[in-house]
Structure 1
Amino acid sequence: MKMVFGIVLALSVSPAAAETLVERGAYLVNSVMVCHNCHTPRGPQGLDMSRALSGGQTFDEPAFKVTGSNITPDKDTGIGNWTDAELKHLLASGIRPNGTKVAPIMPTEFYTVLTARDLDALAAYLRSVPAVRHETPAPEYKIPLKPETPTYAGKQAAEAELADKLARGRYLLTIAHCLECHTPEGPSAVHDFAAASGKGGRTFKGPWGESISPNITPDPVAGLGQWSDDEIKRAITQGIARDGHKLKPPMAYAGYATMTAQDLDAIVAFLRTLPPRG
């Protein structure tokens, strides 16, 4: 009887329940949230993973010039002297321990939805990565930063909500900050979330040349309305469009390729529910 009960109990435990905080944090950092895209140095051959998360590319925008910070546990140039509470507060609010606000290229407005467990997981994983000494330039703010409230963000999610497929897709779409890149900006570098969330049209320049974010709403002409689920997942994980042409960075296809099938299914299902934007 005990053996039978033990088997039944083991089958009733979800994979997530057996996942450690560090494992969950690794999945979030390396896959869903693709933190390497901004926080790991990038050279002609791509990301330099020998210096992973030690400070990345520079963003020279009309409103600011900032470089992705060193988020390894180095005590002098990274987050080694931060407490877990300070790190989690930064993620959910954009406020550093010294009270200053990070530039909006760091999508902390989207991270307001992070569950308490995922915040713990991110802190645990970032403590576990190798410390790399690498000082990044101080940020330069050219104009006052305007606060934004992205679509679907603003309220912390509860772990129990993620059992629902659409709620899980909304959560993943948000912490992956898809709408940050796929929503056009209006005056003063502020996203037009109210009228154009997911419409695409932002231009990104880098070693890849120039790329323009596509429309990811279900609009049948301008967006993904005619795409199959598999075509959308192929675009996310392989960078191949419906017509077969290769998509450009900065979309982090290699990171998204390691997402679970459950999470990819949830994201695609939720994308189908976005208001169409032609």
Structure 2
Amino acid sequence: MKRLLVAALSVLSTAAIADDSLVSRGDYLVNTVMACGNCHTPMGPNGPVMDKALGGGLRFDTPFFDVTAANITQDEKTGIGTWSDEDIKNALIKGVRPNGIKLAPIMPTAFYQVLSERDLDAVVAYLRTVPAVENEVPTPFYKVAIEAHPIPGAEAPIPEEARAGDPVKEGFYLATIAHCMECHTGWVDGHPDPVNALGKGGMEFPGPWGVSVAANITPHPEKGIGAWSDAEIATAITTGVRPDGRHLFPPMGFPFYANMKPEDVAAIVAWLRTIPPVE
């Protein structure tokens, strides 16, 4: 009987460690690589309002839609506290709410389709731990039909074993779930063109800082970052400071990327070196 009790406790302890590991991974993804708070946390005059983290944030009023980043805390009335795990996953990788309403494409669903099964589970596990914040955001308003634009190479999950030992593959995975190219891809005929303008930049973001423009982050030696060293690219990602000393403006998520593991930043840099230079 004593042996059975010890064995049972051992199983429970292992399960708890596994759960903690999953939550820890989800915390890392949500609060660094994926920078979810960059949109979903309310902004005050002095920056993000962290006591309301992930409680609903930025408004995006575009020619295509007028939406506000949702409350993704565990509040049952205004957040996702009543959603099932499957509901959360469907919102992340399919862009559909439990009520069937599609999410605006400012939500990087097309990029999240690459999430491995474990990382998807980790994000859900972490979101379950986020304290409830009661904050009702406006109902989304769509001015045109919502269209999905797939990301080449990101149409399906990429498991850990497919990336192991390959910094470029890992860099592609991380840059994709960080949805870097959501802002840094050039647009053609009213939609992003990841085939011919990947990394070209040019998207404009008005805000209290004026108007920031997404940079060309291809290896082009003059228009892009081809002349930058690996360390200079890593510094720009994690501190928001260019080699010439100029500071990058929001919505570049360097306050989140600042806590990325150095090996993950290095992998992203390795992948950026491989994309075609675009002028």
Length-normalised TM-score, structure 1:
0.91
1:178 to 140, 157, 180: 180
Query: Does the CA-based 8 Å contact 1:152-1:174 persist in structure 2?
Result: no
Counterpart of 2:225? Answer: 224
Provide the residue aligned with 1:208 in structure 2.
209
State how 1:121-270 maps to structure 2 within 5 Å.
Answer: 121-163=122-164, 164-188=166-190, 190-270=191-271
Q: Which moved more, 1:130-139 or 1:141-150?
A: 141-150
Please tell me whether residue 116 in structure 1 is matched to residue 117 in structure 2.
yes
CA distance in 1, matches of 2:210, 2:237: 20
Q: Deviations over 1:3-44 (max 9, x none)?
A: xxxxxxxxxxxxxx9971110000011100000011000011
Q: Work out whether residues 23 and 126 of structure 2, in 8 Å CA contact, stay in contact via their aligned partners in 1.
A: yes
**How far apart in 1 are the matches of 2:37 and 2:208?**
16
Q: Unpaired runs of 5+ in structure 1?
A: 1-16
Decide which moves more: 206-215 or 17-26: 17-26
Tell me by how many angstroms 1:161 deviates.
1.8
Equivalent residues of 2:185, 2:197 under 8 A apart: yes
How many residues get paired?
A: 261
Shift of 1:82: 0.5
Deviations along 1:98-126, one digit per CA (max 9) or x if unpaired, are 11110000000000000000010000000
Aligned 8 A contact 1:238 1:253 in 2: yes
**Alpha-carbon distance between aligned partners in 1 of 2:182 and 2:265, rounded to the nearest angstrom:** 19
Cα shift at 1:244: 1.1
| Cross-structure match for 1:24 | 25
How far 1:162 moved relative to its partner? Answer: 2.6
Retained in 2: the 8 A contact 1:152–1:170?
A: no
Higher mean alpha-carbon deviation, 146-155 vs 40-49, is at 146-155
User: Which deviates the most, 18-27 or 238-247?
Assistant: 18-27
The sequence identity of aligned pairs, in percent, is 54
Q: Deviation per CA, 1:199-252: give whole Å up to 9, x if none.
A: 011101112221001111101111111100000011001111121111111101
User: Mapping of 1:79-90 within 5 angstroms?
Assistant: 79-90=80-91
SS state at 2:182 partner: helix
Q: Distance in 2 between matches of 1:206 and 1:135?
A: 23
Unaligned segments of structure 2, at least 5 residues:
1-17
> Which residue is equivalent to 1:51?
52
Deviations 1:35-93 (A, max 9, x none): 00110000111100010000001000000000000000111110000000111121111
Equivalence for 1:4:
none
How many angstroms apart in 1 are the aligned matches of 2:110 and 2:193? 14
Give the TM-score of the pair, scaled to structure 2: 0.91
Aligned residue in 1 for 2:103? 102
Corresponding position of 1:11: none
Q: Which amino acid aligns with 1:47?
A: P
Q: Secondary structure at the match of 2:113?
A: helix
4+ residue segments displaced more than 3 Å: none
Q: Which whole-Å CA distance do the structure 1 matches of 2:254 and 2:212 have between them? A: 14
- CA drift of 1:146 comes to 2.0
RMSD: 1.3
SS at match of 1:31: helix
- State the SS of the aligned residue for 2:206: strand
